[in-house]
Amino acid sequence: MSFIEEIDRRRTFAIVSHPDAGKTTLTEKLLLFGGAIRVAGAVKSNKIKKTATSDFMEIERQRGISVATSVMGFDYEGVKINILDTPGHQDFAEDTFRTLTAADSVIVVIDVAKGVEIQTEKLVKVCRMRKTPVMVFINKLDREGKDPFELLDEIEEKLEIKVRPLSWNIGMGKELKGIYNIYNQTLNLFSGKDKQIAEEPEKIDNINTPDFDEKIGEKYANTLREELEIIEGVYPDFSIEAYQNAEVSPVFFGSALYNFGIKEILESFIRIAPKPQNRHSSTRLVSPYEEKFSGFVFKIHANMDPNHRNRIAFVKVVSGVFKRNTNYYHVQNQKWQKFSNPTAFMASKQSIIEEAFPGDIVGLNDAGNFKIGDTLTEGEQMAYKGLPSFSPEMFRYVENGDPLRSKQLAKGIDQLLDEGVAQLFTKLSNGRKIIGTVGALQYEVIEYRLEHEYNAKVRFEPLTLYKAAWVSGSREKLDDLRKRKHQYMAEDKHGRNVFLAESFYALQLAQDNYPDLRFHFTSEYND
């Protein structure tokens, strides 16, 4: 297969949602239909005892939530699909924001009963800003929920996107009869049984026949015909170009738990979803079809295999072909590196690969050389942007819970915070370590992983701060700020100056007193 054909057959997308909307269960069923796994797991289900493939961390299996982005790749009908399953919980939104930079499109999962929730609004806002194509899957049709037309209005209003239904439910909850796929003109009848694989959809050339009435019942057939007429009258005709330009979002209905409507969305996805896209770097626009390799690190994960204490940097291939045992230039470190064991992923399972193409995600064993946002090239001096760390909203002092395990604690904090789940600051006045996060649950995850992966114990002490701001400017002004505001100054892991404001007033006062300095609320800035 040629280089161009390899690129054209790739689809890389992220699945995002509010917690409990069924995002990870949908991921499992996509893997099932794609033949990547034989038995699908569920995040929380009394019927399915296997845990979700994408929830590979022990704390995820215990809590029934995703706390880290998982990467999974498989082939389906000649198309190479890369799925990025993201955390739904708002405390881990930062991981999701960065993951969206590695996705060429997004599937948003919405609970039919709960409708659009606040975390979904935040994530879709990021997609709108980046003009990322969005596909909507309305889940849990096996339960009673909102009227579909009311839900579509809510999606358009709250998510500020235009929608176009490409499938439509026939009934809901106990009266769910099936899903009619408008795009493919097929009917999938719902049996209500907990099956691993749903029945093959049936091609329907004409819904205005007595045979169709017999299949689903005259009442349901008449209702469907009326609703399809409304859809055709209210919503614009579907255009692949409009979807790929992020101007309209196709909507599908189904039940991930019951494998219902999953094949329809998968088959529609491979036909309409965008191929690998151009990406802006610090110097120019980079095309995936360029011969020379380039890519960027969007995620780091320590202890993918706790038995080997390994650390993996996830690299999105932007252009060219990544090849095993080839020297590549690490732009930020200004060093050439060779990678003998690059891997592809099925959540925690890894397999060594010889090459990877634009759109693919490659795992590189890392001894601490990489940080999120780093760029690899064949020698070109450029950097990919858009992977910042955000100013934390919660702060706690770090105290050693076991003095005999000081080295383990230091190593654990160093590696875990390289993943980007939190920020580490060291106060200039007393050298105390502070961990800042965007949510309280992150402290629980850090504490759990330190104990179970590094055999270290940590104790967090409360600290009340309003905001942490990275500060840049002339050396003279920075030295003056560090001297006059010594007790409020800290350094992050990379030695950058950070101002710890106790209140909105304190921050405003510092900004007024130092107009020549710049106060940043994301870590991605240029001095």
Mean pLDDT of 477-482: 94
Indicate the average pLDDT of the chain. 83
Give residues with Cβ within 8 angstroms of 188, minimum separation 6.
Answer: 178, 179, 180, 181, 198, 199, 201, 202, 260, 261, 263, 264
Cα–Cα distance for residue pair 318/291, rounded to 1 Å:
11
Give the residue among 277, 17, 30 at the shortest CA–CA distance from 131: 277
CA distances from 349 to 36, 355, 357 (A): 12, 18, 20
Residue that wins the pLDDT comparison between 128 and 489: 489
Residue in 261, 81, 243, 101 with CA at minimum distance from that of residue 170:
261
Contact 254, 262 (CB under 8 A): yes
List, for residues 48-67, the tens digit of each pLDDT value.
Answer: 334 444 444 444 444 443 33
Q: Which two tokens stand for residue 61?
A: 């299996």
Mean pLDDT of 88-97: 55
Q: How confident is the model at residue 432 (pLDDT cuts 50, 70, 90)?
A: very high
Average pLDDT in the 223-242 region? 93
How many C-beta atoms surround the C-beta of residue 133 within 10 A? 25
Query: Considering only CA atoms, which of 107, 45, 34 is closest in space to residue 72?
Result: 34
Q: What is the mean pLDDT of residues 308-323?
A: 85
Helix axes 148-159, 218-234, angle to 10 degrees: 30
Question: What is the structure's pLDDT at 494?
Answer: 83
**What is the model's pLDDT at position 37?**
53
Choose the weakest-confidence range: 83-87, 107-111, 174-178, 334-338.
Answer: 83-87
Does the pLDDT of residue 134 top 90, yes or no?
A: yes
- Mean pLDDT computed over 116-145: 88
pLDDT above 70: residue 474: yes
Confidence of residue 442 (pLDDT cuts 50, 70, 90): confident
Which range has the top average pLDDT, 9-23, 294-308, 406-420? 9-23
Residue given tokens 């790929």 in the structure block: 244
Q: Compare 320 and 75 and report the one with higher pLDDT.
A: 320
Q: What is the average pLDDT across 167-173?
A: 92
pLDDT score of 386: 67
Classified as helix, coil or strand, 188 is strand
Tell me the average pLDDT across 499-503: 93
Q: Which range is least confidently modeled, 34-43, 193-202, 373-382?
A: 34-43
Tokens describing residue 209? 């026949």
Confidence of residue 109 (pLDDT cuts 50, 70, 90): very high
**pLDDT surpasses 60 at 448:** yes
Max CA separation in the chain (angstroms): 85
**CB 134: neighbour CB atoms within 10 A?**
24
The share of the chain scoring above pLDDT 90, in percent, equals 46
Closest among 32, 67, 33, 34 to 53, alpha carbons compared: 32
Q: Among residues 63, 45, 66, 36, which one has the least CA distance to residue 54?
A: 66
**Ranges 79-93, 274-288, 373-387, 437-451: which has the least confidence:** 79-93
DSSP state, residue 72: E
pLDDT of the residue at 404: 86
Crossing angle for the helix pair 93-100 and 118-130, nearest 10 degrees? Answer: 30
The pLDDT of 219-246, averaged and rounded, is: 94
Pairing of strands 105-111, 10-17: parallel
Question: pLDDT digit string (tens) for 257-312?
Answer: 888 888 888 888 999 999 999 999 989 999 999 999 999 998 887 655 555 456 78
Give the Cα separation of 204 and 206 in Å (integer).
6
pLDDT at 62: 45
When mean pLDDT is compared over 188-202, 418-432, 505-519, the highest value belongs to 505-519
Domains for the chain: give ranges and CATH numbers: 3-272 (3.40.50.300), 279-377 (3.40.50.300), 394-520 (3.30.70.3280)
Residue 31 has pLDDT above 90, yes or no: no
Residues 6 or more apart whose Cβ sits within 8 Å of residue 132: 100, 103, 104, 105, 106, 126, 246
